[in-house]
Structure 1
Amino acid sequence: MIGIEVEEPKERCDDPNCPFHGHLKVRGIILRGRVVSTAMQKTVVVERERLHYVPKYERYEKRTSRYKAHLPPCIKVEKGDEVIIMECRPLSKTKHFVVVGKK
């Protein structure tokens, strides 16, 4: 158990950076987003959309944020899947999140 209600993967892995089977501790922010890229090894790019109010025009505009997240081998995701990512210690220069489940 990693502290939140997500289903533990049935497949086992020996990745030290897996929050379920390795030694990686997760804490802080929990986000939901859509996978837009799986081109990197053990890494996915997750995108979140939100609406931002523009007072001058009294309208909303879409804004997006992209996060690079570590993908343990025991979790299988494809481009377009909705995933839950959780904050962890810095794993590289730009990776500070890890995928903990699919939605």
Structure 2
Amino acid sequence: MAIGLNVEQPEETCSDENCPFHGDLSVRGQTLEGEVASTDMDKTVVVEREYDVRVPKYDRYMKRRSRVPAHLPPCVDTEEGDTVRIAETRPLSKTKSHVVVDVLDDGGE
């Protein structure tokens, strides 16, 4: 089943209803890339993105980061340090409104 993004479907199958590949969760809106910072929660990862913000007073750039909680379907296999692509969905909980759709880089392996 295609989800509307240019990503490959995982080889594993799952029975998660909040999986964009095997369930009925639709993706819409933004797609973001970042590094997995935490996998401590159940079915949730925290994806951290770093970006530069210009400070006009000093005519320099400052690093900022944002941490986005995202749903991790069982069919997508990821660990801390991996670079992943996440897509926006409907709200899944109080803080989660993104889902992991692709693993881009296995953190140095």
TM range (shorter): over 0.9
Q: What is the TM-score normalised by the length of structure 1?
A: 0.99
**How many residues align structurally?**
103
Q: What is the TM-score normalised by the length of structure 2?
A: 0.94
Q: How many percent identity over aligned positions?
A: 62
Runs of 4+ aligned residues of structure 1 deviating over 6 Å after TM superposition are none
RMSD: 0.4
How far residue 85 of structure 1 moved from its aligned partner, in angstroms, is: 0.2
Q: What does residue range 1-103 of structure 1 map to in structure 2 within 5 Å?
A: 1-103=2-104
Counterpart Cα distance in 1 of 2:97 and 2:68: 8
The CA deviation string for residues 28-58 of structure 1, in whole angstroms up to 9 with x for no partner, is 0100000000000000000000000001111
Give the unaligned 5+ runs of structure 1.
none
Counterpart Cα distance in 1 of 2:4 and 2:60: 39
Q: SS in structure 1 opposite 2:16? A: coil
Q: SS in structure 1 opposite 2:36? A: strand
How far residue 7 of structure 1 moved from its aligned partner, in angstroms, is: 1.0
How far residue 26 of structure 1 moved from its aligned partner, in angstroms, is: 0.5
How far residue 86 of structure 1 moved from its aligned partner, in angstroms, is: 0.2
